[in-house]
Amino acid sequence: MSDRPIIIHCLDDAKAALAVAGELDVPVTLRSAPGAARYLGAQVFRDMIEEAAGSYPHLRITSVFDCGDDPGLALGAMRHGLKVIKTSVSGEALKSLADIAKQSGARLDEGGPEGQEPALDLLDMEDTKTAVRKWLTDGK
């Protein structure tokens, strides 16, 4: 099955996505909303993922934190232990970030939304578990 990322906005979104992925026993990618680093913060996102994942130690979970075009926010995300950082930084700043990411065991998810795979956005969804189940089982 190809990657079917889910954009989460809160702890309840993360818990719902992981509950369904756990029931289906499939790996899952949880993405923050675009530019979430500007308003959410790396520590909050990290803690949200850790709390939601606590009940699913067997589940392979990838979390991706979107730092937009701000290299400082990307650095902060790495300092808080996040391992996949989405960024649209370019040029020398991107080279520096990539080097720091490599040294810290993180990786960069580069580029804008035009090259990104489709994702299920849980914003304002009423029945998140049903939406996640359909999203994760589509194409099986």
Residue-averaged pLDDT of the chain? 93
CB atoms within 10 A of CB 10: 13
Confidence of residue 2 (pLDDT cuts 50, 70, 90): low
Helix axes 71-79, 42-53, angle to 10 degrees: 40
Q: Establish if 42 belongs to a structural domain.
A: yes
Q: How far from the centroid of its chain's Cα atoms is residue 132's Cα?
A: 15
Closest listed residue to residue 25, CA positions, set 137, 139, 138: 137
Q: Establish if 44 belongs to a structural domain.
A: yes
Q: Establish if 89 belongs to a structural domain.
A: yes
Confidence of residue 86 (pLDDT cuts 50, 70, 90): very high
Q: Which amino acid is at 43?
A: Q
Question: How many domains does the structure of the chain reveal?
Answer: 1
pLDDT of residue 57: 94
The CATH number for 21's domain is: 3.20.20.70
CB atoms within 10 A of CB 101: 20
Q: Establish if 12 belongs to a structural domain.
A: yes
Q: How far from the centroid of its chain's Cα atoms is residue 137's Cα?
A: 19
State pTM to two decimals: 0.91
Strands (E), 17-139: 28-31, 61-66, 84-87, 107-110, 120-121
Q: Establish if 91 belongs to a structural domain.
A: yes
Domain with 126, as residue range(s), is 6-137
DSSP category for residue 8: -
Q: Establish if 59 belongs to a structural domain.
A: yes
Q: Establish if 129 belongs to a structural domain.
A: yes
Q: Establish if 1 belongs to a structural domain.
A: no
